[in-house]
């Protein structure tokens, strides 16, 4: 094969030399930009990109139209008259059941769920990953393996026992209960993330700190934490989007007045009573998707790292 390659490249060189003789100096080839390959390549990518953007576009356009225009017009056409009424209504007046205070309640519930859940789950998992990486004790790996295997168990299997546990403690239906549930189910992937990261750090660092007399918490707070900020950012991205987007735990472990935004959104849009206001529904849908979208567009490449790690989440 090497011989063939050599002779091939020899041929190519000779041909190139010939063509250079014939047509003078050839720098970059201008025809390359509009070659058939490029048209096909970029054409396909642009068509697919439009397909991916279409739902977002339709959501935005619909949310800015009045209902009469929606009934008459085409979902793809831009609004003739832009109105922000649906957004205001979705935020502060849309009804779920008897409550008519809009999605704002769900939004603040989601904030009160997401912030403590993210902090708690990352605090637990990072210390835990650190213990697993640097302070291994007998049996630790066994529990860790159980934890990772457990990530693949469908949540449905564990939902009801947790209901019983939370009810026994007396926090079933509260935001505290849901925060604990999120921390539990975030643990496998986050612990794995932190353990792998801390394991990859140079061990001399840890040894030197030990020689200097630093203990478990001292090394964690003064060395590991400041040196691993990128992985903390990845973990935060992973958890904020994951917890904000959660529906199942929200619907199981909270009551109507503590429902997170996703659950409330679903109740607003899929409620059977009343006239369907599609523009309000779409405004509400965008509002719910806004937080993870902002996280996504701001975080860029780190998001990709986060999901590559989080994708394994059962």
Contacting another protein within 78-117 (CB under 8 A) = none
Q: Is 312 in the site for another protein (CB under 8 A)?
A: yes
Under rule CB under 8 A, residue 13 binds another protein: no
Under rule CB under 8 A, which residues in 183-242 are in contact with another protein? 183-184, 187, 191, 203, 207, 210, 215-217, 241
Nearer to another protein, 210 or 222 (CB): 210
Measured from the CB atom, the residue of 11 and 101 that comes closer to another protein is: 11
Which residue among 13, 58, 82, 169 contacts another protein (CB under 8 A)?
A: 58
Q: How far is the CB of 24 from another protein (least distance, A)?
A: 26
Q: Which is nearer to another protein, 258 or 285 (CB)?
A: 285
Interface with another protein in residues 113-172 (CB under 8 A): 124, 127-128, 130-132, 134-138, 140, 143-144, 146-147, 149-150, 152-162, 164-165
Tokens representing 12 are 């190519």
- The smaller minimum CB distance to another protein, of residues 100 and 164, is found at 164
Piece of the chain touching another protein by CB under 8 A; list 23-31, 86-94, 225-233, 297-305: 297-305
64 lies in the site for another protein, by CB under 8 A: no
Nearer to another protein, 189 or 231 (CB): 189
């Amino acid at each position: 094969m090497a011989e063939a390659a050599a002779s091939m490249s020899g041929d190519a060189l000779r041909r190139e030399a010939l063509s250079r003789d014939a047509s003078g100096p050839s720098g970059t080839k201008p025809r390359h930009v509009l070659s058939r390959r490029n048209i096909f390549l970029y054409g396909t990518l642009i068509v697919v990109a439009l397909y991916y953007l279409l739902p977002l576009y339709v959501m935005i356009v619909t949310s800015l139209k009045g209902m009469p225009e929606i009934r008459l017009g085409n979902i793809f056409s831009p609004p003739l008259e832009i109105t922000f009424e649906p957004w205001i209504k979705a935020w502060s007046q849309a009804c779920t059941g008897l409550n008519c205070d809009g999605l704002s309640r769900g939004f603040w519930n989601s904030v009160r769920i997401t912030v403590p859940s993210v902090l708690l789950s990352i605090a637990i998992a990072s210390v835990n990953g650190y213990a697993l990486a640097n302070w291994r004790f007998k049996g630790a790996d066994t529990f860790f393996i159980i934890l990772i295997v457990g990530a693949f168990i469908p949540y449905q299997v564990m939902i009801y026992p947790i209901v019983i546990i939370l009810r026994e403690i007396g926090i079933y239906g509260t935001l505290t209960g849901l925060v604990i549930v999120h921390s539990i189910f975030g643990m496998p992937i986050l612990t794995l993330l932190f353990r792998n990261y801390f394991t990859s750090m140079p061990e001399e660092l840890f040894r030197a700190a030990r020689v200097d007399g630093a203990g478990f918490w001292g090394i964690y707070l003064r060395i590991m934490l400041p040196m691993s900020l990128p992985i903390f950012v990845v973990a935060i991205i992973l958890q904020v989007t994951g917890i904000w987007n959660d529906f199942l735990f929200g619907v199981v472990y909270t009551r109507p007045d503590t429902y997170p935004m996703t659950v409330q959104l679903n109740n607003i849009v899929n409620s059977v009573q009343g006239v369907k206001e599609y523009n309000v529904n779409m405004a509400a849908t965008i509002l719910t998707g806004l937080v993870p979208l902002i996280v996504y567009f701001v975080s860029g490449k780190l998001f990709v790292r986060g999901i590559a790690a989080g994708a394994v989440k059962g």
